[in-house]
Amino acid sequence: MTARRGDAISVNSDMGEAFGLHTFGNDPALMGIIDVANVACGFHSGDPGAMETTVALAQQHGVRVGAHPGLPDLVGFGRREMRLSPQEVEDLIRYQVGALSGFLRKHDLPLNHIKPHGSLYGMLARDEELMAGAVRVAEDYGVPVFGIAGSAHQRAAERAGVAFVGELYVDLDYDADGGLIILRQPHATDPAKAAETARRALVDGVVVTVAGTELPIEFGSICVHSDTPNAAEVAAAVRAVVDDA
């Protein structure tokens, strides 16, 4: 079932996107604001040390943890599409979820959900057969998938009887068809604009596209990317809107 407006809305963020001493996010500042962390599992970013650190930090803050599996493309940060079969999608997601599960078990935390990353997220949103590979992993773990309501994310999940949570994005633009415009490099987001996007979606059930049109949207969680330069300020602005609602 899709989480809809009126249900409890969570704030989530993509985290653990780091290698050794190098990090691409604002994880410590965000952990006290968000409800759910989508943790990178090693293919697009996130090494074992980053997974350990992120899961431990989430446990300290009472933040739920889901897997954020991506394409095996470290150089492109998982933001370059690949030609994959449904079985390949299933295998690469299963591998990454398994890696994260080891750290969750150490910290006695359950896996909360699965949310594909970057270009894999976009590929699965357009192709039900590819998305079916991801859904099979979620079904085995008994967890929901996060994705775009009305897309192949939702259709494949519902076809398999797997729970689905729709997302709203406040730091990415939507095209005229309701698809996300994913940039290779993150940019700063105006916190006031992000808060207004969240407010319109919560109150009116719509999101405004780059064409200026309004599209209806259903969602159960709002995503703020951790690698946005001012991610903590954006998340705090969104948190205030959600709490007020």
Domain ranges of the chain: 10-171+219-225
Instruction: Catalogue the E-assigned strands of the chain.
Output: 10-15, 18-19, 22-23, 36-40, 64-68, 111-114, 145-147, 164-169, 173-174, 180-181, 206-208, 214-216, 221-223
Q: What is the pLDDT of residue 14?
A: 96
Give the pLDDT of residue 3.
39
| CB within 8 Å of 64: residues ≥ 6 apart | 10, 35, 36, 37, 58, 112, 113
- Residue 110 has φ and ψ, to the nearest 5°, of -85, 155
* Burial class for 172, CB neighbours closer than 10 Å (0-12, 13-18, 19+): middle
* pLDDT < 70: residue spans in the chain: 1-7, 184
**Residue length of the chain:** 245
**What is the 8-class DSSP label of residue 69?**
-
Residue 5's pLDDT is: 39
Q: Residue 181: exposed, middle, or buried by beta-carbon count in 10 A (0-12, 13-18, 19+)?
A: exposed
The pLDDT of residue 108 is: 97
In the three-class reduction of DSSP (H, G, I as helix; E, B as strand; rest coil), residue 59 is classed as helix
Provide CB contacts within 8 A for 102, sequence distance 6+: none
Question: Using one digit for the tens of pLDDT, what is the confidence trace for 154-172?
Answer: 999 999 999 999 999 999 9
Listed residue (168, 173, 172) closest to 218, CA to CA? 168
Q: What's the pLDDT score for residue 127?
A: 97
Give the domain 10-171+219-225 fold. Answer: TIM Barrel (3.20.20)
Residue 184: predicted pLDDT: 67
> What is the Cα–Cα distance from 54 to 56, expressed in whole angstroms?
5
